[in-house]
Amino acid sequence: MKMIGTKTHGYIDYVMGIALAIAPWVLGFASNGAHGAETWVMVLLGAGTILYSLMTDYEMGASRIISMRTHLVLDVLAGAFLAASPWILDFHEFVYAPHVVLGIAEIAIALVTKTHPSNERQKHSAAATH
C-alpha cells in the first residue's frame, strides 16, 4: 500500500540527504577513522539524494527532469548500496549500523511512496505549458 504522498516524500528526501551528509560527524565515526569510505559513502549519497530530488517531477523538485518512478528506483538502489556498503567497501569491522539502518529506511520509504505527484502539481504543470 502506497501511504506516503510525493510532497511528504520530498520533505523526507531533503532531511535524509542532510542526515546522510552529516551523520559521520554527528555519530562520531568520521572523527575516529581516516575519513575513508565509511564517511564518504554517506556524504556522497546524501549529496546525490539532494541533487536528484531537486531534479524530480514532484512538489519539492526545482525542475522536472526525472519522473517520480525513476526517483523511487534511485532511492531503492541508493538504500541497498548504503546498507551493503560496509561489506562491499570493507569497513564493517569499524562501523555498519548507521549505514544499514538508514539504507533500509530509504528502501522502506521508497516502497510505500505514491508514484505520481498530487493533482495540484499536475494542474500546475498543465497550466505552465499553456
- DSSP per-residue string spanning 60-97: T-SS--B-HHHHHHHHHHHHHHHHHHHHHTT-TTT--H
Q: Mapping DSSP to helix (H, G, I), strand (E, B) and coil, where does residue 40 land? A: helix
Phi, psi angle pair for 4, to nearest 5°: -95, 125
In sequence order, the 6+-apart residues with CB closer than 8 A to the CB of 9 are: 58, 60, 109, 113, 114
Mapped onto helix, strand or coil, the DSSP state of residue 4 is strand
Digit-by-digit pLDDT tens for the chain (130 residues) are 789 999 999 999 999 999 999 999 999 998 655 558 999 999 999 999 999 999 999 999 999 999 999 999 999 999 999 999 999 999 999 999 999 999 999 999 999 999 987 765 455 555 555 5
pLDDT at 1: 79
The predicted pLDDT at position 80 comes to: 98
